[in-house]
A and B are shown apart, each in its own frame.
Chain A
Amino acid sequence: MTDQTINTTAAPAKDRKEDLYTATPAQLIWRRFTKHILAVVSLWFLVILALCALFADMVAPYAPFEVQRLRTLAPPTGIHLFHEGRFVGPFVYGLSRERDAETARVLYETDPEAVLPIRLFHQGDDYDFFGLFQSNIHLFGVDDRRQQINLLGTDDLGRDIFSRVLYSGRTSLTVGFLVVGVASLIGIFLGLIAGFFRRADGPVSRLIDAMMAFPDILLAIALVAALGPSAANVVLALGIVYAPRLARVVRASTLVIRELPYVEAARALAVPTPVILVRHVLRNVTSPLLVQATFIFAQAILAEAGLSFLGVGISPDIPTWGTMISIGRQFMSTAEWIMLFPGLAIVITVLALQLLGDGLRDLLDPRLAKDI
């Protein structure tokens, strides 16, 4: 993180080699990581996404459940800069609403007269930020009593898709994160035992094989169905489903580390086995674990969307990307944006996690490591 300053201040070419010797491990890792442009972009994207999800109350212009009866199924609007050839700053056009006499469908036309400038830090609806403070400042909004800014359109109840995608992100990312946590707890435990104790290896490995043989979504649905549908059970079920993958990774690394001299030395010094496991073995399997955890994060987001879509996951009242797609499906032929934007959010997030995982693997896997 501090290497940029070093790079700019150090004289080029000549001191480059010396710089390599004096750099701290963290600097070396960061330097190698920044070679993967896609991974760096992904990391930034994920950080921004996580911040947007965390501060969704502030970033989103409207509340996720705010129903607008006079603005149902409004299409997405683009942000414009020029009105009638004149630069007026970012603004959106208002929409005029009409009802088709024959089909009774609501039609929206952009109203070229209604120019709605986008105001930053706009005072809008009140919200309660995690019960910590109350505010009504939104990142952006428009000053008009009758018009709204719906960048990504609205759904059948007139709820703002952009706001809902952000709030859904909060749920989906939290679920993904917790799944990784649960899977890590189970996976590390099983993997360490199978890898470290020869006698336990056989049975635990067969158990891992058996768990891996279950189709992941099916096992998750079965567990959720059996335990009862709730967010906590979805996390638990997906955690159980993905634990064996982490267990395999931990086991494989532990098998190697178990034979290393420092473990033998620790044993000779009568260090208790649990301490050896945590301090000497676990600490050295963190890199493959981290890589695998990134991939499982991506998988968990996909799986949670699938479960919510099938209606066996989190309650449909809580907005997640999966439930949004499942709602949007009914309007697929008339208002495709309801389904497409949460879908796009899933695709981009999963993509970013995959690219980040690829970057981390190149970075942390010594077999694949190339010259700096």
Chain B
Amino acid sequence: MLAFIGNRALLAIPTLIFISFISFVIIQLPPGDYVTAYAAQLRHAGEYISPLQEELMREQFGLNDPMIVQYWRWISDIVLRGDFGYSLEWNAPVSTLIWDRLMLTLAISSASLVLTWAIAIPVGVYSASRQYSFLDHLFTVFGFLGKGIPDFLLALILMWLAFAYLNMDVGGLFSPEYQNAPWSFAKLGNLLSHLWIPLVVLATGGAAGLIRVMRANMLDELGKPYVETAYAQGLSEARVVWTYPVRVALNPFISTVGWALPALFSGDVITAVVLNLPTTGPLLLQALKMQDMYLAGSFILILSVFTVVGTLISDILLAWFDPRIRNA
């Protein structure tokens, strides 16, 4: 088991290196560099620096070095000192801006992953064990619709419905009166009344796909002889279904945890913009529009690293869960 974990961790390292390099390329892609942007900002404030000064600054920051040297400086600052560079737009180090928002994004994404499972597993099991029943067809329709509807449209529609029929204001994380209030049950309730839309929006897309997977897997498993044996032993249906085939059919759920994260992060960005949530979304979008590339690149880098870590964890969980994979 330890060897398996070590092997997987080693495989993740080159992936991480590629990710950091692609992030750096994205940071470098827009025309101009840090100094050009800085000079433009100074001009905006009514000051002026000469081209000679610009050149000196470039020399000082090492912007004339080859790309690979600059990459090395950037990544070693991040890994060794936790320094993600400087945001010109916000006039602050990137590391002071991102962590709160990243944690909120991670929290919302994890919560919606749990919600996805909570929807997909029972529904998938039911659909498989009552194949072609009315509810099975209904869930199938829901599954296809859930995959077809864009996240932002679902968020908009739910927001509109909540506003028009439930008379709720669902933008942001808290209502104004709770914004700066100390934590209390009322504040928690208020948070939940705002948070259900992003959770539902994010969970719908994922659940729709997983229901299909769960149903297909369960149908495969339910036809196998061991299920018949279990029935022949006189076990109740609930016992048979939930104890044996479900465990096997759950494998793809665990193995896709890591791959579910990018979709959740993407969904989170769009949903957060629609609902005005203080997650990575709005800040990242603004950073990209302003070409504040160190801020944007750091967000993208860290979200992708989360994904790799998530994949690693899901591989390990899968091995722990299923001895066939561990010993393969």
A complexed with B: yes
- In the complex, B304 has a CB within 8 A of chain A: yes
Chain B residue with Cβ nearest A328 = B156
Q: Is the CB of B150 within 8 A of A222?
A: no
Residue of B nearest to A321 (CB): B150
Which one, A202, A210, A312, A355, contacts B288 given CB within 8 A? Answer: A312
**Docked-complex contact A310 and B270, CB < 8 angstroms:** yes
Closest Cβ neighbor of B258 among chain A residues: A213
Distance (Å) between the CB of A175 and the closest chain B CB?
14
Q: Does A225 lie at the interface of the complex (its beta carbon under 8 Å from any beta carbon of B)? A: yes
For residue A10, CB closer than 8 A to chain B, the reply is no
The secondary-structure label for the interface of chain A is helix
- In the bound complex, CA of A223 to CA of B19 (Å): 14
- State A302–B150 Cα separation when bound (angstroms): 6
Complexed CA–CA distance, A355 and B144 (Å): 8
Known contacts A213-B262, A214-B22, A218-B265; A325 and B160 CB within 8 A of each other:
no
Instruction: Tell me the smallest distance from the CB of A72 to a CB of chain B, in Å.
Output: 20
Q: Are A218 and B291 in contact (CB under 8 A)?
A: no
Q: Is A209 an interface residue, CB under 8 A from the partner?
A: yes
B153 adjacent to A213 (CB under 8 Å): no
Interchain CA distance A223-B297 in the complex, whole Å: 11
How far, in whole Å, are A346 and B270 apart by their CA atoms in the complex?
Answer: 16
Q: Is B147 in contact with A213, judged by CB distance below 8 angstroms?
A: no
Number of A residues contacting the other chain (C-beta, 8 Å)?
43
CB distance from A338 to the nearest CB of B (A): 12
Asked if B150 and A343 make an inter-chain contact with CB atoms under 8 angstroms apart, the answer reads: yes
Q: Is the CB of A218 within 8 A of B303?
A: yes
Contact of B19 among A213, A216, A221 (CB under 8 A): A213
Contact flag A213-B152 (CB < 8 Å), given A221-B288, A310-B285: no
In B137-157, which residues have CB < 8 Å from any A CB? 144-145, 147-153, 156-157
Is A350 in the interface zone, CB < 8 Å from B?
A: yes
What is the interface size of chain B, counting residues whose CB is below 8 A from a CB of the partner? 50
Q: Could you say which residues of chain A place their CB within 8 Å of the CB of B11?
A: 206
Tell whether A336 pairs with B144 under 8 Å between CB atoms, given A218-B266, A343-B150.
Answer: no
Which A-chain residue is minimally distant from B11 (CB atoms)?
Answer: A206
Q: Which residues of B contact A215 (CB under 8 A)?
A: 261-263, 265-266, 269, 300, 303-304, 307
Q: Which residue of B lies closest to A217 (CB)?
A: B266
A265 part of interface (Cβ distance < 8 Å): no
Most buried by B among A202, A203, A225, A310: A225
The reply on A88 being an interface residue by CB < 8 A is: no
Given A214-B304, A221-B288: A332 and B160 interface contact (C-beta under 8 Å) = yes
Contact (Cβ within 8 A) B148 A348: yes
Q: Is A227 in contact with chain B by the CB < 8 A criterion?
A: yes
Residues of chain B with a CB closer than 8 A to A36's CB: none
Query: Interface of A with B (CB < 8 Å)?
Result: 202-203, 206-207, 209-219, 221-223, 225-227, 298, 302, 305-306, 309-312, 325, 329, 332-333, 336, 339, 343, 346-348, 350-351, 354-355
Can you show 16 pairs from A to B with CB atoms below 8 A apart?
A209-B18, A210-B16, A211-B22, A213-B304, A214-B304, A215-B261, A215-B262, A215-B266, A215-B300, A217-B266, A218-B303, A222-B288, A311-B289, A325-B152, A332-B160, A354-B148
* New A-B pairs, 18, CB < 8 Å, besides A218-B300, A306-B270: A209-B18, A210-B18, A211-B22, A215-B261, A215-B265, A217-B266, A217-B270, A221-B269, A222-B297, A222-B300, A225-B30, A310-B270, A312-B289, A333-B160, A333-B163, A343-B153, A347-B148, A350-B147
